[in-house]
Structures are given as C-alpha cells and as structure tokens.
C-alpha cells in the first residue's frame, strides 16, 4: 500500500503495559508500518522509563512515522530500589484502567490531532488495543474511528475468557471453598459449559477462575471487559488456522469480524524491509553473550530455559530446576530475571556453578527469538506464555512446559495434549523429573516425535504468513475493510 504523507493512515496502538502484552502489539505495529501506516505506540510513563534504562537514552526516539508517546498509569511509584526492574501489580493496573487511563488517553489523541491540523502528522484514523482493556474502546467511539482488538493470548484462551460469565452463570465458579483448589477437584472435573473445549478439566482453564471468592476482582474485571468486546470493529489473533481451527470456529459463533493474522514471528521473518530492526520492545536489557556462547555448541544440543517476564518461584523450586538441569548433563542457557525468586534474590550454589560451568550460560535476559532460531538449540523449557509458544513453533523447537498463571495452563493443555509438541512438568517440581524430561526432550523417542511435529507446524506457519497465505490475506482484509474504512459516525 503506497501512501503519501498527506494521505497516510494513522494508527494509535495501546498495549496492556506488561512485557508479554507489549511484544505482540509491537509486532503488529511493525506489520502495519510496513503497509504504509503512520504509527503512534503508547507506553505508560513507568514502562517508558524502563525502556530508557534497559535500552539506552535514544531507545524511544523512533522514526518520523513510527513514534512513541506516553500516558500516566495513575499508580504510586514503586520503591526506589525496585523501580525499573519489575513488572507492576496486575490487579492494580486493571483497577487503574477503569479509573485513571481514559482521560489521559483522550488528551493524547487530542494532542495528536492538533499536531495533524498543523500538518505535522496525519490525523488519527484508527486505534488498535490490547483486548483486555476497555478504555480505548470508549475513546475510539468518542473520536468516531474504527478500533480493533489484538488478543495477546491464544484463541483457545480467549475463548475461555469470553466464557467467564458462562462459568459464573452455571455455578461452575467461584469454587465452593478453598479446599477445591487442592482436593483433586480441578484435575477430575470436566468443563462442559464452553463449546469448543474438548475434554478440558477445570485446571486447564485460566487461573483467574480458580477462586472461591464470590467478589474476586480479576474475575469481575475480565467479565466486564468481555462485555465490551462485541462492540469493536474487529478482533485479530496472533495465531493461524492450522493451529487453532476449533477455537476460532467456536469464537466465530459468538463474535463477528475475527481474523487470524499470525504467527507474527514468521510474518516478520518474511518482511522485505529491515529498517525497523533497531526498534525493540524488551523492558529488560538483552545480554548479547547468549548468542556468542551458542556459537560454540553442537547443533540441536542446548536446552533453552526461560520462564518469561512475570513467573516467580520459590528458592526450593529454583534449586530443583537447577539440579535437574545439572544432572541431565545437557548444555543449557538459563534466563534468570533478578525478581524470579519470591521474596528474595537468586542464589545458585557454588557446587551447582562448578558442576555446570563448562556447559551452561546464565543471563538476565536475551533476544529470545534469535536464541530459539539458533542452530544449537534443541529444546525449550518454558512457562507457556503465548509469545514463547508462537516463537518456539516458528523456530520448530519442542517444549517442556511449567505453566505459572493466567492463560499459561490453557496453553499448556493445547501444547501437550492437542498438538503434542510439549511435555508438562508437575507444578511440584522435582529434580529427578526435570532430569528425566530434559533427556526425553533432547534425545528420547517422544522428543523426536515432538520435534517432527513442531517442524511441520513451522512449515505451516511460514505458508500461512507468506504472500497468498491465509494469515497474509486476513491482514490485508483487516487493513482494507476495517482500519481504512471511513466511519459513518464522522
């Protein structure tokens, strides 16, 4: 799509201000920019400071037609020693979305359109938002521009979120009391009130429904947000039909205008232009030595371990993972954030360090997609966040899964049971199980079969995202029929 500066469409993108939500929306911003859009990407002040700290003072200068703006989050500052290195409290953010975000966002849109009247930038023509916030929907309605939502989670997890009200109305949740969390009920009870879920247990649902509190804030919040979803112009998913056809079919019976436009990693790999490569989206400083170290390793020999940007664990769980990896005798790269251990700093014994010194690398953060696509990586021990799964699939890498919260247990169900490209590790992690499953993943018969299946899915992902592929066509359709459509309200 060729556009002059005067006629360029202007998309304002608003992510939920957490790392795992920023990444996919940022990739969508790049895809829209490559198709001729002027981009304004909106960070919170807090995350803006984190970027500058991790990526340097020029990190958010952007390009003339790919700009960054900020709005306040309305939350009190964190402790000085924590500020800039940790994710914010999710319920507090969600409460602030309700109370504090709309007016600053309105003001930003007004400033952008004021700049447009001076001929500095194009006027705002559409808004793209994370699906788990509703204030951008109201702002788009007031401005009379189209709005699309991006689901940062899988279609299967989004289907669950859209049915939280169903779970409450049928008496499935909240749970009768706290004992139901530990007495086996979650493992043995099938979910029968959500069309499109086959043999799902209660434990396979997103963590927000596993509560005995009838006034649980997060459950109420997601039900409220889901109520606004049907009012938007379209909803797009970072997935492809080959992977999630059943979930998309179930969603299509509930909502109009749904489009699979992923997976984003394959899409961007095939993009002809690399002028956006300098624009990154990681809130942590990426350690370049990960890729350097991998150069010295044998093909498909290394286990990559990363539990994402929010997962935390006890010191005991960290110890079990550490010795499971050590005892497997397999080389590994382990990403350990400073805030990974609950209530304390990360401490690995000198015995462990000495045991694994010649076959391991530990870093605080890394360029994950580049690592997963390195020829020496053979398996991925993951928390099952949706970004990590799509990146692993696009790299053809099978997984060991240790889901933590939110949609991760749902994703784990699909990875391990439906697609058969992963193996779940018990939540009560033991070093013997870690050792056994790492070896199964890397050199076992099951690992071999999983690798074959991920390789097939990688090929399918490439087919869907290249010109003429279904996801490629869907993205063009969303642009032409939704984002470029002149609203009748103007």
pTM for the predicted model, two decimal places:
0.94
Report pLDDT digits (tens) over 307-342. Answer: 999 999 999 999 999 999 999 999 999 999 989 999
Q: Which of 73, 130, 204, 407 is catalytic?
A: 130
Average pLDDT of the chain, as a whole number: 93
Which residues lie closer than 8 Å to 317 by C-beta, 6 or more apart? 429
**Average pLDDT of the residues in 485-490:** 52
Residues 103 and 242 reside in one and the same domain: yes
Q: Catalytic residue among 21, 33, 38, 374, which?
A: 21
For 200-312, list the strands marked E by DSSP.
Answer: 234-237, 258-260, 302-306
Is 470 marked active-site? no
Q: Are residue 244 and residue 294 in the same domain, yes or no?
A: no
Check whether residue 403 and residue 374 sit in a common domain.
yes
Q: Is residue 140 located within the same domain as residue 263?
A: yes
Q: What is the model's pLDDT at position 274?
A: 60
pLDDT one-digit tens code per residue, 388-420 = 999 999 999 999 999 999 999 999 999 999 999
Asked if 236 and 376 sit in the same domain, the reply is no
* pLDDT, tens digit (0-9, with 9 covering 90-100), for 72-121: 999 988 764 454 567 889 999 999 999 999 999 999 999 999 999 999 99
Residue-level pLDDT at 267: 86
45 is known as an active-site residue: no
Q: Residue 269 — very low, low, confident or very high, per pLDDT cuts 50/70/90?
A: confident
* Burial zone of 277 (CB within 10 Å; 0-12 exposed, 13-18 middle, 19+ buried): exposed
Closest CA to 376 of 434, 330, 419: 330
Q: Are residues 386 and 265 in the same domain?
A: no
The residue range of the domain holding 224 is 10-79+87-156+219-281+464-482
CATH assignment at residue 312: 3.40.50.2000
Residues 386 and 295 in one domain: yes
Both 67 and 127 in one domain: the answer is yes
- Which residue in this structure is represented by tokens 């991760």? 408
Domain count for the chain: 2
pLDDT above 90 (res 268): no
Has residue 177 been placed in a domain?
no
246 lies in some domain:
yes
Is 183 contained in some domain? Answer: no
161 inside domain? no
Q: Specify if 2 maps to a domain.
A: no
227 & 370 share domain: no
Q: Are residues 143 and 248 in the same domain?
A: yes
Same domain, 64 and 128: yes
The answer to whether residue 490 is domain-embedded is no
Same domain, 233 and 132: yes
User: pLDDT value at position 59?
Assistant: 66
**Cis status of the peptide bond prior to 174, with omega within 30 of 0:** yes
């Amino acid at each position: 799509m060729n556009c002059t500066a005067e006629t360029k469409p202007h998309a304002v993108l608003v992510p939920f201000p957490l790392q795992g939500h920023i990444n996919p929306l940022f990739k969508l911003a790049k895809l829209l920019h490559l198709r001729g859009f002027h981009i304004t990407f909106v960070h919170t002040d807090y995350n803006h400071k984190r970027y500058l700290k991790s990526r340097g003072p020029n990190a958010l200068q952007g390009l003339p037609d790919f700009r960054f703006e900020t709005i306040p989050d309305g939350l009190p500052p964190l402790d000085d020693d924590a500020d800039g290195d940790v994710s914010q409290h999710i319920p507090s953010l969600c409460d602030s979305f309700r109370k504090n975000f709309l007016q600053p966002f309105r003001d930003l849109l007004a400033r952008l359109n004021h700049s447009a009247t001076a001929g500095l930038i194009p006027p705002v023509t559409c808004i793209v938002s994370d699906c788990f916030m509703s204030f951008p929907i109201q702002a788009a309605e007031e401005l009379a521009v189209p709005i699309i939502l991006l689901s940062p989670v899988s279609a299967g997890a989004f289907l669950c979120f859209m049915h939280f009200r169903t779970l409450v109305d049928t008496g499935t949740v909240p749970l009768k009391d706290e004992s139901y969390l530990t007495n086996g009920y979650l493992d043995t009870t099938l979910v029968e009130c959500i069309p499109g879920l086959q043999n799902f247990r209660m434990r396979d649902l997103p963590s927000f429904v596993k509560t005995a509190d009838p006034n649980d804030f997060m459950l109420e919040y997601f039900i409220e947000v889901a109520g606004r979803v049907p009012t938007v112009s379209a909803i797009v998913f970072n997935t492809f039909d080959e992977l999630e056809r059943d979930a998309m079919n179930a969603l299509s019976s509930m909502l109009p205008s749904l489009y699979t436009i992923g997976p984003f990693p394959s899409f961007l790999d095939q993009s002809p232009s690399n002028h956006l490569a300098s624009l990154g989206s990681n809130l942590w400083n990426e350690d370049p030595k990960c890729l350097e170290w991998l150069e010295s390793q044998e093909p498909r020999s290394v286990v990559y371990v990363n539990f994402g940007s929010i997962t935390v664990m006890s010191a005991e769980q960290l110890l079990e993972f550490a010795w499971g990896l050590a005892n497997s005798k397999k080389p590994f790269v382990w990403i350990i954030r400073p805030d990974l251990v609950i209530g304390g700093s990360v401490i690995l014994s000198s015995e462990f360090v000495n045991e694994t010194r010649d076959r391991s690398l530990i870093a605080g953060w890394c360029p994950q997609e580049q690592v997963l696509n390195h020829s020496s990586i053979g398996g991925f021990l993951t928390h099952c966040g949706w970004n990590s799964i799509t990146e692993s699939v696009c790299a053809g890498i099978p997984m060991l899964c240790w889901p933590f919260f939110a949609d991760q247990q749902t994703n784990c169900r699909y990875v391990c049971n439906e697609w058969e490209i992963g193996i779940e590790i018990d939540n009560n992690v033991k070093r013997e199980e870690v050792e056994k499953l790492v070896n199964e993943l890397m050199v076992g018969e099951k690992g071999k079969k999983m690798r074959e299946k991920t390789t097939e899915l990688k090929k399918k992902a490439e087919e869907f995202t290249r010109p003429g592929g279904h996801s490629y066509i869907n993205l063009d359709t969303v642009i032409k029929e939704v984002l470029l459509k002149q609203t009748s309200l103007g």
